[in-house]
A and B are shown apart, each in its own frame.
Chain A
Amino acid sequence: MGKVLSFLTATRGKNGKLHWTDWVSYGYLTLGVFLMFGPVLWLVISSFKTEADLQRFPPTLLPYAQETVQVDGYDNPLPLFLMTGGDYEGQTLAQLRRVGSQAQMVDPANPDERLRVNIANREPVEKLHLATENYTELFERFNFLRFFWNSTFITVTATAIMLLVNSMAAFALSKYEFRGRMTVLLMVIGTLMIPQTVVLVPLFLIVTELGMFNSLWGVIIPGAATPTGVFLLRQYMITIPDEILDAARMDKASEWKIFWRIIVPLSAPAIAVLAILAIMWRWNDFLWPLIVLTQSENFTLQLALNSFQGELQTDWQSLLAMTVLTLLPISAVFMFLQKYIATGIASTGGK
């Protein structure tokens, strides 16, 4: 608490007072926390609500569910109501059935006697309840594990291929003097101008001709070489002193060994940054998978989410739970690596 207090009363002026601009700044930042985290938090909370609770308007902040009770002589648990008026005021009754504005109720302590009440005179008894069944149902009703596996497979494989291919190219462009180096560099810059979005049709033909239509490889391979990756790694590898390479060559190390045993370990920070970026790009990829993967068993999580939001207009509880599971891995990566992500993105200038 003391920490929070000293944080909130951080001083700028000499007399320990906050300047009004500090108040405005902290106000703005607090609003930012609310606006940036709030919507996602609301989604996560909502994903733990039961179907009935989700349809409530206005919604409650926390997930509630109506309490039920098992009454002798009835198979299913009955919903509980607190009577707020009429003959039975103050009593807690269980509902058998409702007909119009009348309901047949029963006292759980005295199950034989049926009571007829007006529904205006009662309020449901509620308790906090985490509807974890929203999540367990995902695994039963949908091919959720399949989508999760597809996404994971694409992300992991594409990242691995990209790191290898891009670091090999970066090594060649940073540590060798050869004719045509400038041309290759210009070519790499050239590819910056060709985002996937403008070559969708021919890319589709090429991927189809290579037999990768409706295959996870059709998503993995076309994006495996990125100009951003080559640049990022090259800029880092240039800073590795040539003397280390010369020393290794004296010891008769092959070029491949130099690459694998010296350059790659020494470039680990840059490779890590690129790996994080690649994981993010792949996991969140949407347009290209949407074109290549048309059969639902090949869907990635993003595609599944998108197609379900069309099909399951009213089935928000499955949709919300699925959304939470989709954003979970990336959020976990964010929690642990946010410092590196920030520096990585700032250094590449993004893609």
Chain B
Amino acid sequence: MLSIISPIMRIVEIPMLALQRLLGINKLAWVFLLPNLILFGLFAFLPVILNIFYATTGGDNVLLADRPYVGARNFGTLTDCSNFLDPNSCREDKFWRAVWNTVWFVTLQVGFMVGFSLLTAIILNRDIRARGFFRSVFFFPVLLSPVVVALVWKWILQREGVLNAFLDWTGVGGINWLVSADWAFGWSVFISVWAHMGFYTLILLAGLQAIPRDVYEAALMDRSSPWRTFRRITLPLLSPTMLVVLVLAMIKGVQTFDEVYAFTGGGPGTATTFIIQYIYEEGFAGAPRLFGLSAAASLLVAGVLVLLTLVQLWANRSNVDG
């Protein structure tokens, strides 16, 4: 491997040396930055600006020059609702279904996930044998691809799957899980928690281990009860980490697409269609490719994400010293 790279690096050194002589050492920094900045500019900042153009134009052409300007009409279409709480009263009912599904999903998913992650982290932080093993057990699903996660659970939940066999055996009787809207939604929350909780457990465990031992020893001296110790010491000292985890989980939760799309395809009906799937389907999956609606919806999502990210950066500010 190195025998291929080394000669290349030696060749790169020739123009870099010339640039160094030309610019001086400090300006050479820009040369080192250049590839990264080009990529950021082309694939992060330029798209943000173009997104605004897309959101304000109509038609199904991807080339901006061929798209007629429509002003705020896309946003108007999305928000044309007599009652925002009832998607049926909206012109773009699928959008609002996706919005409310996402709101519910994020609430449930983040709640359960942070709860179970905290519980697991606290247990792993005890005097546990083979902590490394158990930690990696909970982390294992994080590495699996979303499609694999979806298929693993689909195989278990299918009509003649192992879960229904078990329920049959206990006498409860099988249920056609993914055909019922409520069950499909519930299982989507479940597999999403299953797949990601190891990640948050890890962060919370690191936070717990950063709490100094002597604080607990002092609490023990004062005969503080375990519950009181937990409420008065662990929770307050863990709260910065908790905030980071909470916001991070929300940022990711809003963007949920992969595993649920592979799991239920958004169905039955639109029961598990979330906002990113709406954006994807409007822009890329349907026959008239409504890039305008798709871009307008993604700008709305971007607004939410920017807010959340600012909170995250604020919560995490000790790590970004500039």
Contacts and interface: CB of A to CB of B under 8 A. Distances in A.
Contact of B134 (A33, A203, A224): A33
B203 A350 contact: yes
Contact of B151 (A184, A291, A319): A319
Interface residues of B, number: 108
Interface string A198-236: 111111111010000000000001111100001100010
Contact of B32 (A172, A338, A345): A172
Interface string B159-191: 011101100110000000000000000000000
B165 A224 contact: no
Nearest to B35: A165
A185 B320 CA distance: 10
Given A29-B123, A197-B301, A256-B16, A43 B152 contact: yes
Contact of A177 (B26, B39, B138, B310): B26
A262 interface: no
Contacts of A339: 132
Contacts of A190: 44-45
Contact of A201 (B16, B40, B51, B164): B51
B50 A221 contact: no
Contacts of B43: 203, 206, 221-223, 225
A25 B128 contact: yes
B203 A191 contact: no
Contacts of B319: 235, 349
A35 B128 CA distance: 19
A40 B144 contact: yes
Interface stretch (B83-91, B93-101, B107-115, B255-263): B255-263
B224 interface: no
A341 B141 CA distance: 13
A257 B40 contact: no
The B interface, classified by DSSP as helix, strand, loop or mixed, is helix
Nearest to B293: A201
B72 interface: no
Nearest to A280: B143
Interface in A323-351: 323, 326-327, 330-331, 333-334, 338-339, 341-342, 345-346, 349-350
B32 A169 contact: yes
Contacts of A286: 145-147, 257-258, 262
A171 B16 CA distance: 15
B211 interface: no
The A interface, classified by DSSP as helix, strand, loop or mixed, is helix
A10 B129 CA distance: 7
B288 interface: no
How large, as a class, is the contact surface on chain A?
Answer: 35 or more
A40 B152 contact: yes
B244 A221 contact: no
A50 interface: no
Interface in A135-178: 164-166, 168-169, 171-173, 176-178
Contact of B127 (A10, A42, A168): A10
A330 B145 contact: yes
Contact of B298 (A7, A37, A199): A199
B298 A200 contact: yes
A309 B280 contact: no
B241 to A, nearest CB: 10
B77 interface: no
A29 B121 CA distance: 11
Nearest to B263: A309
29 contacts: A32-B134, A36-B194, A40-B152, A42-B156, A42-B162, A43-B151, A43-B152, A58-B169, A168-B32, A171-B32, A193-B302, A200-B279, A200-B298, A201-B294, A202-B47, A221-B43, A255-B28, A256-B13, A287-B276, A287-B280, A302-B146, A305-B151, A305-B262, A309-B151, A309-B154, A330-B143, A330-B145, A345-B199, A345-B202
Interface of B: 9, 12-13, 16-17, 20, 25-30, 32-33, 35-37, 39-40, 42-51, 53-54, 62-64, 119-120, 123-124, 126-130, 132, 134-148, 150-156, 160-162, 164-165, 168-169, 194, 198-199, 202-203, 205-206, 244, 248, 255, 257-258, 262, 265, 276, 279-280, 283-284, 291, 294-295, 298-299, 301-302, 305-306, 309-310, 313, 316, 319-320, 322
- Interchain residue pairs A-B with the least CB separation, the first 6: A58-B165, A202-B50, A225-B39, A199-B47, A169-B36, A284-B145
